[in-house]
Amino acid sequence: MNFSKMHGLSNDFMIIETITQKISLTSKKIQTLSDRYKGVGFDQLLLVEKSFNSGIEFNYRIFNSDGSEVEQCGNGARCFALFVYLKGLTKNKKIFVSTKKGILILKILKNNLVRVNMGKPNFLPKEIPLLTKIFKTKYSLFIKEKKIYFGAVSIGNPHCVITVNDINTKIVSELSPLIQKNDFFPNSVNVGFMEIINSEKIKLRVYERGSNETKSCGSGACAAVAVGIKQNILSNKVSVELKGGKLEILWKKENDVIYMTGLAEHVYDGSIYL
């Protein structure tokens, strides 16, 4: 099986195209491949599939390192775009792909920058989903006898965003697994911790479903900015600083789509016998 290793701000991926090769992957195989000592090693595995929808070039599937399939991955989307272009699977620099949650529009810019139309942020509790019928800009839960306040949104996948004074707080690793297991989030949730520098700049750490904390999370960056704008504490254009680098997020108005721009990097090509 041929594959490529890529990363978006150190959020790393194994990318496999199933257009010219036939493969069969189970959750157990994905877990084996994700092992950084005995396998290839990655945060997520991305599959490039042929689309059967008119006007859509590819189908985009995402699997976490634990083998679970998820709906969205923003950093992966940028790498997906660069991969299909570098491999000659498309000559277009504006690429339409389908996901489990809808259509993404990927645009390759100069110097390996890729802009992704991530769709419209969805704050409806049933769509995130949350175990409540009432929308709030801030929800609260008791975790380890401590009241936690957070915003919640779907960027094709569920996110909760907690504002902290210092991003280097140890509660990231302490609280995230407990929040993800809480019944308030029926499908679990990606947990973001946002430190606000000013209205146009934030720092962010994200504890992802099925992958623990990653060095960057594109959908998490979009979620944090969307929640911050909804809470009237952020501007429409925000620079998001993650452990792996920076993303630029633009959300002009609430009924509009949200855009993410950042680097995608090809690391190497390889082949492996399963």
pLDDT tens digits, one per residue of 159-199: 999 999 999 988 888 999 999 999 999 999 999 999 999 99
CATH topology of domain 139-255: Diaminopimelate Epimerase; Chain A, domain 1 (3.10.310)
pLDDT digits (tens, 9 = 90+) for 57-75: 999 999 999 999 998 999 9
Which residues in the chain land under pLDDT 50? none
The full 3-state SS of the chain, as one line of letters, equals: CEEEEEEECCEEEEEEECCCCCCCCCHHHHHHHHCCCCCCCCCEEEEEEECCCCCCCEEEEEEECCCCEECCCHHHHHHHHHHHHHCCCCCCCEEEEEECCEEEEEEECCCCEEEEECCCCECCCCCCCCCCCCCCCCEEEEECCEEEEEEEEECCCEEEEEECCCCCCCHHHHHHHHHHHCCCCCCCCEEEEEEEEECCEEEEEEEECCCEEECCCHHHHHHHHHHHHHCCCCCCEEEEEECCEEEEEECCCCCCCCEEEEECEEEEEEECCC
Report pLDDT for 254: 82
Is the distance from CB of 195 to CB of 202 less than 8 angstroms?
A: yes
Report pLDDT for 84: 97
Is the distance from CB of 172 to CB of 193 less than 8 angstroms?
A: yes
Stretch(es) of the chain classified as CATH 3.10.310.10: 2-119+263-269, 139-255
Q: How far apart are CA 162 and CA 42, in angstroms?
A: 26
Superfamily of domain 2-119+263-269 in the CATH hierarchy: Diaminopimelate Epimerase; Chain A, domain 1 (3.10.310.10)
Report pLDDT for 52: 85
Q: Model pTM? A: 0.92
Q: Is the bond preceding residue 186 a cis peptide, omega within 30 degrees? A: no
Q: Which residues are catalytic?
A: 73, 217
